Structure 1
């Protein structure tokens, strides 16, 4: 992929990913820290973080259904981005628990509408060059890195009270960047509702969606408590921000390599490798937190546990869900993995963190990741079978 391809608005697509994941770089590592400074306990923090993820179970599917039936994906992206920013501004009204629950539900319902539909737009622009998706998506990772590394020292200096200001600016940036991207309809003939139901019953699709659910469940302790966990073991917020950033730098590096790795190894093998390395990563974080160098290595593994995993999973989703099902396919991926999986992960982490300890909580994550690796190995077919499945679906949609 290069910027001079006239059919692909490389920088406009990349700009949206930059702002969206820059906001994620502020929200995921530091929102729990902000809630802790407000005086909330681990169980309350786990629940509030779970809300952001739980709305992904419902929101992407509602908006995906609307997008697939209207074809107005970019209008949905723009509307969702704008209403997310407006809803989030509610944090300035009160920091009471009940009010924050309401704000998080509204904000995340609209915020979670945007990305799955934008992913579908990106793949529609790429058409048969889907292996080059990572060259656009890497700018989201760069946005995450910039935000997480700048905010770490800033929070050390001024406290977590500045976080809502930073987030609101980034949410506004998401909306503004969405205005620059034009609609791009799919070139595949639309299919029927029955064909989607039939597709969801196939063993390979069920296995893939189960793997996505389990993978994000395993991330629960990391996304919810990693910053708090590291700070409790003597790491400064600046250093914690650098460790978050290091993980995403490794992710960017692997995104640059993936266009060569995918044709060579295949999506299934890459997916299994990423799931196994996730188990290794959670074990290292749970047992060796006192060692900075092991923590550095664990963060480098983010290249596999997010970069390789996400690029492999989303391309498999795109192969299975074609035509009018693209929006709902991306929505299912988002809702079952980052939504249901992330919410369950945050919830069990909140329940076990104080009661059973951080190490035990990461042990749960190890078991979940290994289970996902076994499901992927035994029930997701090799690349040739996946291509044949996609070809047969083209005939019925």
Structure 2
């Protein structure tokens, strides 16, 4: 390994930079698209792009990472190309450059260009998490407590992005959002370049293939629940900011509401070891789906009532924080080291890709055909179905260890 920052410090920096970009972009992309004149139907299609790219992007990057063992190089290349795509996005929606007026006068052409640019941006950023999560769990030695304290830097980055950009957009308008996105992706590129390079690892032939593992009923139930959980969360990621804006919240207030959820998430990442010692990953996974069902129904029925919104955001500690760590723990236990990047990619594809894209499309239809509140009620029912899907998969796990080891225990 070359000299440079320790792997843990570099991965923490990677999490911070990537999720600062997510916090900047995800809550405000819908507002940006509305601000440049797109309809709810067009916004729904464009907000489905990142989910759809998670169907094809992560398997491609995961396959490359597992095949060549050079995840660091892939992180560097993909982050640089994502930064270039963000600059193209900025030009696509900005009328202040020579081609901008022509695009504004041709809505169909501009929509097509926005679609292509967002597709490129999300294809390249889809490389980050499958590879980074594999690196993080390896650096943590499989310990959920150590992993959580690495992953918490992503939550801190998200807060910096989501809270920092709100007042800026209130003061200067939402049109500058893509330029800030490009700046953060440039930072991500710098962090990726600073990561120490590792040589290719020796590949041991897995005892159980990915196909054989996927044939197991518990694994199929797990991925079904992932699909439904991310289907439910699609309403939150795509339309929660618009929902709050319709209830009269300012962009600064929207950023603070998002930040409350992430602060709760930070707390659970920092303290989660005891929970995993006591309950085990699968029980926590199922509990997170039950809490998600209650959370989204509460948002849908709240009509923007602040106490209900705040309670729902505090539940993010469970519906994202616990669910995410339990998912990573489960994948680490079920899949061999040489399969980890592909396993992470498969989760992203089924959950965020298939589940998220279907969720966005259904949410946009329900928003228009029924009501904004009904969008979140439907999301709650999807999470409840995910809870049911996991009903028969609870494993007997002896409490007392937060380290994800001993695949032999998993085969009992």
Contact 1:25-1:148 within 8 A present in 2 as well: yes
C-alpha separation in 2, matches of 1:327 and 1:371: 28
Q: In 2, distance between residues paired with 1:215 and 1:206? A: 14
8 Å contact kept, 1:68–1:325: yes
The equivalent residue for 1:140 is 154
Which residue among 327, 351, 359 is the counterpart of 2:341?
Answer: 327
1:22 aligns with 2:20: yes
Q: How does 1:128-207 map to 2 (within 5 A)?
A: 128-184=142-198, 190-191=204-205, 195-207=209-221
Higher mean C-alpha displacement, 231-240 vs 90-99: 90-99
> In structure 2, what is the equivalent of residue 341 of structure 1?
355
Counterpart residue number, 2:141: 127
Q: CA deviation at 1:126?
A: 1.9
State how 1:29-108 maps to structure 2 within 5 Å: 29-95=27-93, 96-108=110-122
Distance in 2, matches of 1:281 and 1:351, equals 21
1:270 to 284, 292, 317: 284
Contact 1:121–1:185, Cα closer than 8 Å, also in 2: no
1:3 corresponding residue in structure 2? none
C-alpha distance in 1 between matches for 2:204 and 2:364:
43
Give the superposition deviation at 1:62.
0.9
Give the distance between the partners of 1:345 and 1:384, measured in 2 at CA. 36
Between the aligned partners of 2:273 and 2:35, the Cα distance in structure 1 is: 43
TM-score between both structures, scaled by the size of structure 2: 0.89
Alpha-carbon deviation of 1:238? 1.1
Q: Is the 8 Å Cα contact of residues 207 and 379 (structure 1) preserved in structure 2? A: yes
Q: SS of the counterpart of 1:219?
A: helix
- Residues 1:390 and 2:388 aligned together: no
1:250 to 251, 264, 267: 264
TM-score, normalising length from structure 1? 0.92
Matched, 1:9 2:7: yes
Task: Verify the 8 A CA contact 1:8 1:126 in the aligned structure 2.
Answer: no
Unaligned runs of 5+ in 2: 94-109
Is the aligned partner of 1:365 residue 2:382? no
Give the C-alpha shift of residue 259 in structure 1: 1.5
The answer (yes or no) to whether the contact 1:208–1:380 under 8 Å persists in 2 is no
Measured in 2, the distance between the counterparts of 1:319 and 1:89 equals 40
Superposed displacement of residue 10, structure 1: 2.8
Distance 2:42 2:396 in 1: 43
- Alpha-carbon contact 2:144-2:272 (below 8 Å) kept: no
Q: Pairwise CA RMSD of aligned residues?
A: 2.3
Change (3 A) 1:234 1:111: same
1:288 aligns with 2:302: yes
CA contact (8 A) 2:145 2:271 kept: no
What SS does the corresponding residue of 2:169 show, helix, strand or coil?
helix
Assess, with a 3 A threshold, how the Cα gap between structure 1 residues 270 and 188 changes in structure 2: closer, same or farther: farther
Residues 61 and 335 in structure 1, CA contact (< 8 A), matched pair in contact too: yes
After superposition, give the CA deviation of every residue in 1:27-82 in whole Å (9 maximum; x if it has no partner): 11000000000111111111101101110111110111111111111111111111
Separation in 2, partners of 1:29, 1:277: 22
Q: Distance in 2 between matches of 1:8 and 1:127?
A: 14
Do the aligned residues in 1 keep the contact of 2:235 with 2:359 (CA within 8 Å)? yes
Say whether the 8 Å CA contact 1:230–1:240 is kept in structure 2. yes
- The answer to whether the 8 Å contact 1:20/1:174 transfers is yes
Consecutive unaligned residues of structure 1, counting only runs of 5 or more, are: 1-5
CA distance in 2, matches of 1:316, 1:384: 15
Structure 1 residues 208, 106: CA separation in 2 closer, same or farther (over 3 Å shift)? same
More helix by share: 1
